[in-house]
Structure 1
Amino acid sequence: MATEIAAKVEAFVREVVAPYERDPRCGAHGPSDALVAEMRDKARAAGVLTPHILADGTHLHHRDVAIVLRAAGLSPLGPVAVNVAAPDEGNMYLLGKRATSEQKARFLDPLIAGEARSAFFMTEPAEEGGAGSDPSMMKTTARRDGNHWVVDGRKAFITGAEGARVGIVMARADEGATMFLVDLPDPAIRIERVLDTIDSSMPGGHAVVAIENLRIPADQMLGNPGEGFQLAQVRLAPARLTHCMRWLGACTRAHEIATNYANRRRAFGKALIDHEGVGFMLAENLIDLKQAELMIDWCAGVLDAGELGTAESSMAKVAVSEALMRIADRCVQVMGGTGVTGDTIVEQVFREVRAFRIYDGPTEVHKWSLAKKVKRDWKAAQEKH
């Protein structure tokens, strides 16, 4: 089934979505909401909207999701068009796992239908010492007030906040980190500015947000007070991995474009690909593409087995993001001057993947976390002897 779904998604992305890549409605802060709606209408008509969630509400296995999302990622616009983009895909997964039936009807169903976008409010401004790679530094507060909670704080790098209709807000209550579901827009959540970043594929861009006296009914809490980090773990590993899946698709397409260029372009009496320096770069791309695919499949198998996959997803995120960076860089290099222009998506893929090495945890943070695991495992082994 997943192979058939992926084939339909790939055909749609290549034939319908790719021509939109030069649409003037694709701006520095992502495609406009009008463009998103137009593409999703076509995806809905083609039967490929939200393809990872079946008509009966069941979610494809992670290994199957990998096949589908790689197909969606063949264009930077593909995940948005078929409704598998971040942060919506990760938010749908979390709500599908932990929201109440009432919360699902109100907040999840519009996301699955592609009628609304969402935002995940966790990261905070670094200059204020707020939560980033270390979520325990969270400064946004939540306090009880009768049958409501009142949230105050500032958030940063909130993807898609501008134009989102569903928000998941994380704040620090007396019991610990806590998540809330909110309808957007809300006058208590004010976008201060949308940051200018090197990536440009996500609608709404990445915003700095002020939250002032945000009143949330108690029944809009996700889970229980103090369960915020536990809920984040449910979302974390799958969301890391789906990032890898989508950008693997983008780098697959970039490699196709660079390969076509190297075979058609001639220099010094022969096709570029016949020059060893160029041919070897494309050969190395094949190796990195396959290694990334296998790493994703391995981690997806761990998640399908019912494990949290925290360490495995860290390993996959590091290995895949670094491999994709090498691939994108080689594609630019192979294409020379053309590679740094907007004439193809290669230049954009390079920018997007560079940002991906930071988003969902920088490489160094994941390595540090894995090093702590190495130490824990070593200590545990010593105690057994």
Structure 2
Amino acid sequence: MRIFKLASVVICIASLLSCNNQNKKKSEDTAMVTVKTNEEIVLDKSVVKLKEVLGSLKYADSFPRNITKGQKEWNVVGVRDWCSGFWPGVLWYAYEYSNDEVLKAGAEKFTEPLKTIAYTPADNHDVGFMVYCSYGNGYRLTGNEEYKKILLAAADTLATLYSPKVGTILSWPNMKHEFKYNTIIDNMMNLELLFWAAKNGGDKKLYDMAVSHADVSMKRLVRPDYSIYHVTCFDEKTGEFIEGKTHQGYADESMWARGQGWGIYGFAMSYRETGKEEYLATAQKLADHFIERLPEDGIPYWDFDDPKIPNAPKDASAAGVVACGMLELSEQLKDEKLKEKYLNAAKDLITRLSSDEYLSGNTNDALLLHSTGHFPNNSEIDVPIIYADYYFMEALLRLRKIESKNI
């Protein structure tokens, strides 16, 4: 009888220990599920907000661009505005994170009207921004073959602006009276459409065009100190370089913040697509120069050389573009210390943009405050701008993927 009772006690104790271990494991598993990174917390809030804003936008051919100070809702633009692709791109990113079918349907709805860009003559280099940010993200996430056809057509349309004599894509055809044959640093971002098309069924010459454009941009747009001109002007007949200018910056020789971002991201992406070491080295030096000149609060002024600093406006959009570029750069480098350097620089920018100072919250329908579009033209100064939200969402998602790999 004693043996039986002792055995029963042992069984009970073992059962209790087993239950405790199981409960502990369940508790640990639950903790692992519920603990979120800072970027996931921001993404969660952004998804909720984007769904609400999506429900308030009635017309698929009207795209958010900016929000006037004191107003809550987006000012919208038409299909041919250079910013038209960013809103559907934001929705695609929100869908990528949330897997929410409402956001997917919204992304599809606002992507569809941009099809016309691929099949009408190009009047600027922004074909890439308009189509790759919308259809490009859509194809990446859905594999929709119709999207692929439109992307290939858009690449061919963009290529019509290429000049073999100059070796670059003409950026602003309608501004040749002011800048002659012009190429701007923003255009580096649109090369991704050409690179993508060349390896996905498009003409292989698209790759050569993109490489030539990057080579000439590296030689003419990048200054010796690794700041960047916004615009370079060429003689269209001879291909001869004439001068560098900074149209949207403070002065021709000043360092326009967003232009530096386009350069960092554009050359890092070009290295990814080509393996050309000079692109990687250029991206690093551009990034280093940006980091060296950052103000103490870690967010760039619209132009690093504005004499009114510290009473000059900031540019959250530049910070978002640079964060994406730094993450791209970090992923391409093999040296662990360098990878960590640019990863940490990107994290710092994302953290600062995720603060109460820059997140819009309930202020208006945007995600971010304090961007600057075209200061010399007195346009979009210290307001929310859609491409700031786009690159902010991209940076959050990219950082989340990188951190998940390192767990």
Structure 2-normalised TM-score?
0.24
Higher relative contact order (CA 8 A, sep 6+): 1
Larger radius of gyration between Structure 1 and Structure 2: 2
Structure 1-normalised TM-score?
0.25
Q: Which has the higher strand share?
A: 1
